[in-house]
Amino acid sequence: QVQLVQSGAEVKKPGASVKVSCETSGYIFTTYGVSWVRQAPGQGLQWMGWISAYNGHTNYAQMFQGRVTMTTDTSTNMAYLELRSLRADDTAVYYCARHYGGNSGASLDYWGQGTLVTVSS
Amino acid sequence: DIQMTQSPSSLSASVGDRVTITCRASQTISNYLNWYQQKPGKAPKLLIYAASILHSGVPSRFNGSGSGTDFTLTISRLQTEDFAIYYCQQTYSTLYTFGQGTRLDIK
């Protein structure tokens, strides 16, 4: 069965970077992409961007441009999210999700369990 | 950015009821509309994609419809496990956006 398993919770200081991993299994990794979505405490869902596991192409939400890097490792079927220059308002649960489709008409059909990133001095 | 507006923001209903949640896009998005369900402390789950297609394993009491700018999610015969927060999401533009969510509580 399709599974996405994320790395554990992180506590970071303002200005630091965080890298969240997402281990996938149960499907052909390079046939899909991986989207990243975050959710601040008590708030709604915010899509951050996605990466094609087929060719590594990325599409980042503009508000994260310059601070975010999404990568994949096709040898281990892993996806990674790096967010730099962390601020207190980056405190959130970060989810990876399997991205089915291209840039338009996609759906996020299976999700990881989430990784809590806390940014605090 | 395409704004997605859900109504109502919250809703109380009883087991066995039929409920409808509406999602409106600020511009046309064809049928590039997904619905997700999220329970407290859990990751969202895909319910419906392309406005009306049920994701694998989702019960048939969930139904999605609409195109253009107006979409609905209907749950017939509410079950206990359906009480959750529901989000719509557009994937028409290259910047995907979610609605603010609709909280469905037990009356």
pLDDT tens-place string over residues B59-74: 999 999 999 999 999 9
- Cβ neighbours of B97 in A, within 8 Å: 47
| pLDDT at residue B93, as a whole number | 95
Does the beta-carbon distance from A47 to B55 stay under 8 Å? no
DSSP states of B52-97 as a string? Answer: TEEPTT--TTEEEEEETTEEEEEESS--GGG-SEEEEEE-SSSS-E
* Cβ-defined contact of A104 to B34 (cutoff 8 Å): no
Q: Which of A61, A105, A109 sits opposite B55 (nearest CB)?
A: A109
pLDDT of residue A103: 86
Q: How far apart are CA A15 and CA B72, in angstroms?
A: 42
Give residue B98's pLDDT band: very low, low, confident or very high (50, 70, 90): very high
User: Does A105 contact B44 at a Cβ distance shorter than 8 Å?
Assistant: no
Beta bridge partners of A29: none
pLDDT at residue B10 in the model:
97
Q: How far apart are CA A54 and CA A28, in angstroms?
A: 10
The average pLDDT across A5-32 equals 98
Å between B7 CA and nearest CA of chain A = 14
Q: Which residues of A touch B34 (CB under 8 A)?
A: 107-108
Q: Which of B50, B94, B98 is nearest residue A103 as measured by Cβ atoms? A: B94
- Asked whether the predicted pLDDT for residue A102 surpasses 90, the reply is no
